[in-house]
Structure formats: C-alpha cells, structure tokens
Amino acid sequence: MLKLLIWIVIAWLAYTAWKNYTHRQRAAASPAPQEPEQMVACAHCGVYLPRAEAVQEAGSHYCSAEHAGLRRPR
C-alpha cells in the first residue's frame, strides 16, 4: 500500500511540474500588450474609428472618402 501511495505522489508531482512548465512557456511566447490606438470622430457623422483607419482632409478626420467629400455644413 505504501508503494502505491509513493507512486501516486510521484505522479502528482510530475504532473504539477509539467503543468507549470507549459504555463511558463505559453506566458513567455505571448506577445507584449500593445498600447490602445487613439480614436477620432468623423467630422461628418460623428462615428468614432481608429486614427489609422480615418481619412484626414483639411485638418479633420472622416470615416470614409465619401464623407470627406461631403463635409458637414456649418
């Protein structure tokens, strides 16, 4: 009976060590968190979108080339 208990403890320790090792490998391989992208509002319709996707014209941001062409009446 004591032999069985020793083998169970050894198996549990091996499983725990393996689980910790794989967890560390996944954590090291995951990419670093990125900074959030700045959001801008379309000057025509007010929809928010990432600055990289916005069309910039005459100092204003637009959600599409169509809205950049329309320009909001003031």
Q: Which residues contact 67 (CB under 8 A, 6 or more apart)?
A: 42, 43, 44, 45, 55
Domain boundaries, the chain: 1-30, 39-70
Q: Which residues contact 55 (CB under 8 A, 6 or more apart)?
A: 61, 62, 63, 64, 65, 67, 68
Residue 74: pLDDT over 60: no
pLDDT tens digits along 25-61: 777 776 777 888 999 999 999 999 999 999 998 889 9
Region 60-69 average pLDDT: 92
Region 17-27 average pLDDT: 84
Identify the pLDDT of residue 73. 54
- Could you tell me the pTM of the whole model? 0.50
Identify the pLDDT of residue 49. 95
